[in-house]
Amino acid sequence: MCGIVGYIGDREVSPILLNGLEKLEYRGYDSAGVAVYNNTGMHVVKSKGRLSVLSELLHGGTDLPGTVGIGHTRWATHGAPSDINSHPQVSDGGKFAVVHNGIIENYLYLKNHLIKRGIHFVSDTDTEVVAQMLEYYHQGDVLDTILKVASKVEGSYALGIICEEHPDTIYAVRKDSPLIIGKGESENFIASDIPAILMHTRDIYRMNDGEVAVLSKNEVEFYNHDKEKIEKVTERIEWDVDAAEKGGYEHFMMKEMFEQPEAIRKTISPRIHDGKIVLDDIALTVEKIKDIDKIFIVACGTAYHVGVVGKYAFEKILRLPVEVDVASEFRYRDPIITDKSLVIIISQSGETADTLAALREAKKHGAYVLSIVNVVGSTIANESDDVLYTWAGPEIAVASTKAYSTQLAMMYMIVLYMAEQMQAVSTEELNQYIADLESLPDKVAQCLEDKETIQYFASKHFNAQDMYFIGRNVDYAASLEASLKLKEISYIHSEAYTGGELKHGPISLIEDNTLVIAICTYQRLFDKMMSNVKEVKARGAVVLGILTEDKVGVQTEADHAFFVPKIADFMLPSLSIIPLQLFAYYVASQKGCDIDKPRNLAKSVTVE
Ligand code: M6R
| Helices and strands in the chain, H and E counts | 18, 27
217 labelled catalytic:
no
Tell me, in angstroms, the distance from the centre of ligand 1 to residue 431's CA.
32
Work out the pLDDT band at 569, boundaries 50, 70, 90.
very high
Sign of CA dihedral 475, 393, 193, 33: negative
User: Is the preceding omega at residue 598 within 30 degrees of 0, hence cis?
Assistant: no
Which atom of ligand 1 is closest in space to residue 398's alpha carbon? 14
- Which CATH number is 451-591 given? 3.40.50.10490
- For ligand 1, the distance from its centroid to the CA atom of residue 309, given in whole angstroms, is 16
Mutation choice for ligand 1 from 177, 344, 345, 349, CB with most ligand atoms inside 8 A? 349
Each residue's pLDDT tens digit, 204-236: 999 999 999 999 999 999 999 999 999 999 999
Catalytic residue among 2, 447, 520, 593: 2
* Alpha carbons 419 and 409: distance in angstroms, whole number: 15
Q: Does 270 score more than 90 pLDDT?
A: no
Specify the pLDDT at position 195: 87
**Atom number in ligand 1 closest to CA 605:** 8
Residue ranges of the chain assigned to CATH 3.60.20.10: 3-238
CATH superfamily of 3-238: Aminohydrolase, N-terminal nucleophile (Ntn) domain (3.60.20.10)
Question: What tens digit of pLDDT does each residue of 163-178 get?
Answer: 999 999 999 999 988 8
What are the start and end residues of each CATH 3.40.50.10490 domain in the chain?
A: 252-446, 451-591
pLDDT at 413: 98
Pocket of ligand 1 (CB under 6 A): 300-303, 347-349, 352, 355, 398-400, 488, 601, 604-605
At residue 193 the predicted structure's pLDDT band, cuts being 50, 70 and 90, is confident
Lateral strand order in the sheet of 155-163: 89-90, 96-104, 155-163, 170-175, 212-215, 220-223, 229-230
- pLDDT of 244 > 70? The answer is no
What CATH code would you report for 252-446? 3.40.50.10490
**DSSP string for residues in 234-302:** -EE----GGGGS-TT-SSHHHHHHHTHHHHHHHHHGGGEETTEE--TT----HHHHHH--EEEEEE-HH
* Distance, CA of 164 to CA of 37 (rounded, Å): 8
Atom of ligand 1 nearest to the CA of 400: 16
Burial class (CB in 10 A: 0-12, 13-18, 19+), 234: middle
C-alpha 57/C-alpha 54 separation (Å) is 5
Q: 149 Cβ partners below 8 Å, 6+ apart?
A: 130, 133, 134, 137
- Cα–Cα–Cα angle for 426, 432, 437, rounded to 5 degrees: 125
Do residues 182 and 197 make contact, with C-beta atoms less than 8 angstroms apart?
yes
CA of 324 to the centre of ligand 1 (A): 16
